[in-house]
Structure formats: C-alpha cells, structure tokens
Amino acid sequence: MKAYVFPGQGSQFVGMGKPLYDTNSKAKELFEKANQILGYSITDIIFNGTDEDLKQTKVTQPSIFLHSVITYMCMSEKPVPGMVAGHSLGEFSALVAAGTLNFEDGLKLVYKRAMAMQKACEKNPSSMAAILNLDAEIIDKICNEINDIVVVANYNSPGQVVISGSNAGIDLAMERMKEAGAKRAIKLPVGGAFHSPLMEPAREELSNAINETHFNTPICPIFQNVDANDNTNPETIRENLIKQLTSPVRWTASVENMVKFGAKHFIEVGPGSVLQGLIGKIDRNVATEGIN
C-alpha cells in the first residue's frame, strides 16, 4: 500500500517548483492563483528571492505548501494514496491530498498559520534544538526538570528528538542532555519555539480560521501529528489540527502506525528528502522515494 507524506518547514530552497511552473500549464495556473489569493507575488520570492527571503516563516510555510501540493496535483499518473501524513506544516498539504481541504482553503489556512506563528515568535524570543542519540524518555525527564519552558517538539526518529522553548531553557537543556550522554545537541536556525506552549497565541488565532473552514471526509486515512492515529472523521481532524501548534509532532509513532496499517511504500512529495531519511531510520523494511 502506498503512503504519501509531505515535508514541513526547513526543506525549502530558492527556485523550487520553477521547472514545473515553466513546463506545466496546470502548475502555472495554480501558482498564479496562489499569487491572487495571497495578494502578492510569492512566486517571485520562491523563484528569484534569496535564502533569507525564503527563511521568513510567513514566506516559508506557504512556499513549501505550494510546492508540495502543486507537485502532487500535477503528477502524470493520478495518485491513489492508501494513507497520507505530513510533518508539522506538511499536515496541511496532506489534508489537501486527501481531499479534506481544497487548494484555496488549504493555502489560506497555511498563510494564516504562518503569520500567527511569526507574531508569536516576535512576541516571545525562543528557540529549538535537535538532540541526537539520547533516549526519548531521558529527554522528556530533563525537560520536565527544568524550571523554564522546555518541551519535546518533534519525535522525529529513533535517535533524533527536537526540543523547543525559551532561549534560557533550551541552553540549559542542551547542557544537561550532553551531560546525560547525548551524542550532539544542536541549536536550530529557526525563529521561535514551534510546537510548544509559547505558540499558544498563534494557536488561538489559527483555531478561529480552522473552525470557519469546511472540512470534507478524506478519501483515505490521515495519520496526524498530535495522536499518530488513522483519522477519517472531519471533526477529529479539525480538533487535532488546532492542537498541533502547541503539541509535539509524533512522527516516529505515525510512521510505525502507518506500517502497521499496511504501508509498504512511502512517497515524499515536496522539496528535499528529510522525511525519506527519517522513515528509513524508523523502519528499514519499507521502500521510500521522493517526487519534487
């Protein structure tokens, strides 16, 4: 059974999607529609901007969403997903692929999410760090012992966990995790503490927009970040999407559950190959490929 997965923030690069725009009339039409919906030429930034332009959360998120979704919609053979999932931002791409959201509503929600997160980051200076080769239970324990905001943001794969929180809390947690035996603790070049309580203002703002958006029953199960379960109920999907901004991304559990559900072939649609690498570490017996 084929599982389609969609990447999140961090996979972007200048020029992504340009060959598709130049050679596929449907792709060009969708990119131009996106410019109209957003009210500015995001294609100019994606195709001709700088790395710094593209790193802004308010630009990065809609850019990756557009690249992923338009690539999916323009595949030469119509995709028939047995299931879908997306990492953080990628969950919105997955929802469009599953037919739960249409292209226009998906883009509007992603842009709303990006703007709300950018504001939350500016309000609360904060950061994230990747912790390598340390047991997740030890990481959880250290985060809970620190008298500041530090939480696990991403359970990415065995041996790779990302923490999120205040600058002081992250610095202290990195020290303690290295003392506890972590191979490496690497501060990430992001603008804030995604998937932590510091995103609560963004969650509240986004929840209003999500509640005003129509959600269809998906054509296949979507394994969501919040619970890692095979969800098909539109209201459950909606509730999980609202919780996502302040909850950890349970990617390891999601992939494990997708394999139990019958996934044997994972296809990453969108920029980069991050998810293929993570899936390979979670289960070496499944096939992975990328379409970008």
Angle at 246 between CA 55 and CA 206, to 5 degrees: 70
List 63, 127, 164, 195, catalytic entry: 195
Residue 50: DSSP 8-state: -
Rounded Cα distance between 92 and 107, Å, is 8
- Give residue 213's Cα distance to chain centre: 20
Tokens of 24: 């596929």
Active-site residue flag, 88 = yes
Instruction: Tell me, yes or no, if 126 is annotated catalytic.
Output: no
Q: Give the contacts of 239 (CB within 8 A, at least 6 positions apart).
A: none
User: Rounded CA gap, 166 and 172, in Å?
Assistant: 10
63, 68, 88, 247: which one is catalytic? Answer: 88
289: β partners: 267
Contact 161, 154 (CB under 8 A): yes
Catalytic residue numbers? 88, 195
